Structure 1
Amino acid sequence: MSGQPIKSFDPQAEQPVASFPLDQWYVAGFAWELTEKPLARTLLNQPLVLFRTAAGEVAALEDRCCHRALPLSLGILEADGLRCGYHGLLFGPSGRCLEIPGQLKVPGKARVRAFTVRERDQILWIWFGRDEQAPPSEEPPAYPHHSSGQYLFGGDVYHYDAPWQLIHDNLLDLSHLGYVHLRTIGGNARIHMNAQMQVSGDESSVKVVRYMLDSEPPPTYSAAFPFKERIDRWQEIEFNLSHLKIWTGAVDAGSEAVDDPQRGGFHMRGFHGITPETATSCHYFWSMATNPVSNPDETLRTVLDQTKQTFDEDKQIIEAQYANMLRFGEQPMVDIHVDVGPNRARRIIERLLKDYQR
């Protein structure tokens, strides 16, 4: 299981956007976050403001007025755009200034940088390209579990004081569940560490599949689904550069095949959008979809509450891990059998960065 050792980062170092793979869609947020106020968010070292016009158009602009540099996120959202809170310049979704109070002529250079943003399946995607003027080379990914009607879902946003790839490592290695998440989705730690695991992928993705047959249902599963006794569990993790899709769940032990695409039982389909803020911090956009068999509102609430609890536990672990990496300085890490998936994902990002630097 070869892989480059995880290295510490200098939190004081200047990190340009090119420190991250470009010509990519990254998650900028969720549709429900855009309300009557502008939303400030730094992504890939770019301070941005996101908003929605009265016509429903989603926009992302550089968070700096071209007049006197006030953050536009401190402005007022109007029907046609965003009005600066200092001198009232009004900016449309294209970044062009539409109006200057008290002045009839608007100079052509009165504009701010606009980013391409798309809303799909209630996820906001933003394009970061090598060429600022070039349009995206592809459409953002679909996530039908938000819109198919087969699942109920909810989600939220976390901010991490840790590099984004540490979260990739965590999500691609679910063996930690038996140690970190004993009160929620964990279960027997030995079963987790010895689970049958299959790792596959291509030049841009990694898939990890794990099966834990004839095991005790963890607390979250028992609270959300009427299992008889023991269960057969599955974990399917798909890594893509900007997001991971994790399908976990279980059926009653021996009742049906856990590799059947149409299998029943209890499902938890997680969306995990991991977007760098800086080299040493990131945003974690998550949603969880489930398939209640009874009491849908109560079951969804239980699943979301339990999911949030697991993410609180992960956040504590990952931020403590990174703080310790900084404390001890650059040190090599020893790989074990569960690191195959995380190491593959790191090699994908390393290759993308090298391709950009050529």
Structure 2
Amino acid sequence: MSTTETQPLAHDAAGAPQASKFPLNLWYVAALASELKDKPIGRTLLGKPIVLFRTADGQPAALEDRCCHRALPLSHGTVEAHGVRCGYHGLMFDNKGQCIEVPGQAKIPTKAKVPAFHAKERDQIIWIWFGDADNAAPTCEPPEYEVHSNGKYLFEGDVYHYDAPYQLIHDNLLDLSHLGYVHLRTIGGNASIHMNAQMKVESDDSLVRVTRYMPDSEPPPTYIAAFPFKGRVDRWQEIEFCVTHLRIWTGAVDIGTDSLDDPDRGGFHMRGFHGVTPETETTSHYFWTMATNPVSSPQETLQKVVEQTIMTFDEDKVVIEAQYKNMVKIGNGPMVDIHVDVGANRARKIIEKLRNEVIS
């Protein structure tokens, strides 16, 4: 694991500390493990330009995406056995940000280094630590996501870039009542059933859980395409919000066959991982995977589920970006809450609390 730079607290014009733009002292998703191959990846995360690459032994590394010589992004360079090489004059940097080679020059300047960040892979997700000045080193391990590693599911994933703030993505994922209106072709179903689902919301200082049950429902198109249901189904939606990612378990069983609160229930499962990482205050990265439990034709079923998931997320992206564009155009006028907003509102309170804690 590489070392990380110290991130100073923000101050206003009078020198007083301000709340961070984003919650700190957390592991954020930087990439899916499948993205890091033989080339560096440049990505802005929490307003900081980062270059990601793998070392010769396969470990992820993260550096500031700027060569200390003439400022070319290191992501324009190449990955070699000993680190990342700048694509302008060939300076080589190791995973700690230290320059270890200057072509044509034996002596390496002592100041030839770039800031490095802690990066770690766990369950096929690349995490990066963003800490405040008092927590430059990680205070915990990255979150686990056993769905990728326990062998019970097949999964694939990808990355979206959003021209919208990250909390609008949180709002969308915490409120699945919109499925009946936005996703009629895929995972939607009867809009009235979605809006009237049996819903329970639980939360603490760092987590929100939303549970929604929809017994005696018609299975939506995605479910029918992937699983041999006999007719009507009992559906569930379980959403777990953490500040840097969400886990969403949805699915259905044939009506009356399994209890919807049984953790070992059968039927058709879709387990989604949703890593939502701010790029800036107004743009975001959305890292997702979708896992399922095929009962037959595993790869064919997985591809059906992934194709339907992509259609679904494409629809969400259109809505969220149009929503934000309208907010910018018209201004942040008052918004009226309804019953489906409880989870999203609690998540926003958690984020605000964590942002303010950075200055305490």
Distance 1:141 1:229 in 2: 38
Q: Give, as a single letter, the amino acid of the residue that structure 2 aligns with 1:316.
A: V
1:319-334 superposed matches below 5 A:
319-334=321-336
Q: Corresponding residue for 2:188?
A: 186
1:38/1:50 contact within 8 Å kept: yes
Identify which of 250, 253, 273 aligns with 1:251.
253
CA-based RMSD: 1.2
The answer to whether 1:166 aligns with 2:168 is: yes
Q: Corresponding residue for 2:111?
A: 109
Structure 2: which 5+ residue stretches go unaligned? Answer: 1-17
Identify which of 311, 314, 322 aligns with 1:312.
314
How many aligned residue pairs are there? Answer: 343
1:127/1:136 contact within 8 Å kept: yes
Structure 1 pair 119–171 and aligned structure 2 pair: CA distance change class (3 A) = same
Structure 1 runs (4+) greater than 6 angstroms displaced: none
Q: Corresponding residue for 2:5?
A: none
Structure 1 pair 217–344 and aligned structure 2 pair: CA distance change class (3 A) = same
Distance 1:80 1:101 in 2: 14
Identify which of 34, 57, 61 aligns with 1:59.
61
Distance 1:53 1:17 in 2: 35
Question: Residue 133 of structure 1: CA displacement?
Answer: 7.2
Q: Give, as a single letter, the amino acid of the residue that structure 2 aligns with 1:217.
A: P
Q: Give, as a single letter, the amino acid of the residue that structure 2 aligns with 1:230.
A: R
The answer to whether 1:278 aligns with 2:280 is: yes
SS at 1:284 equivalent: strand
Q: Corresponding residue for 1:291?
A: 293
1:1-358 superposed matches below 5 A:
18-131=20-133, 134-358=136-360
1:48/1:60 contact within 8 Å kept: yes
Distance 1:342 1:41 in 2: 27
TM-score (ref. length: structure 2):
0.94
Question: Residue 104 of structure 1: CA displacement?
Answer: 1.1
Distance 2:256 2:215 in 1: 8
Q: Residues 132-165 of structure 1, C-alpha deviation per residue, up to 9 Å, x if partnerless?
A: 8731000000001001100000000000000000
Q: Residues 266-324 of structure 1, C-alpha deviation per residue, up to 9 Å, x if partnerless?
A: 00000000000000000000000000000000000000000000000000000000000
SS at 2:358 equivalent: helix
TM-score (ref. length: structure 1):
0.94
Q: Give, as a single letter, the amino acid of the residue that structure 1 aligns with 2:193.
A: I
Q: Residues 27-65 of structure 1, C-alpha deviation per residue, up to 9 Å, x if partnerless?
A: 001111011111010000000100012221210000000
1:43/1:275 contact within 8 Å kept: yes
Distance 1:57 1:213 in 2: 46
Q: Give, as a single letter, the amino acid of the residue that structure 2 aligns with 1:313.
A: E
Distance 1:134 1:221 in 2: 45
SS at 2:20 equivalent: helix
Q: Give, as a single letter, the amino acid of the residue that structure 1 aligns with 2:282.
A: T
Question: Which deviates more from structure 2 when the two are superposed, residues 125-134 or residues 215-224?
Answer: 125-134
Question: Residue 330 of structure 1: CA displacement?
Answer: 1.8
Question: Residue 17 of structure 1: CA displacement?
Answer: 10
Q: Give, as a single letter, the amino acid of the residue that structure 2 aligns with 1:308.
A: I
Distance 1:356 1:52 in 2: 31
Report the identity percentage.
69
Q: Give, as a single letter, the amino acid of the residue that structure 2 aligns with 1:276.
A: P
Q: Corresponding residue for 2:14?
A: none
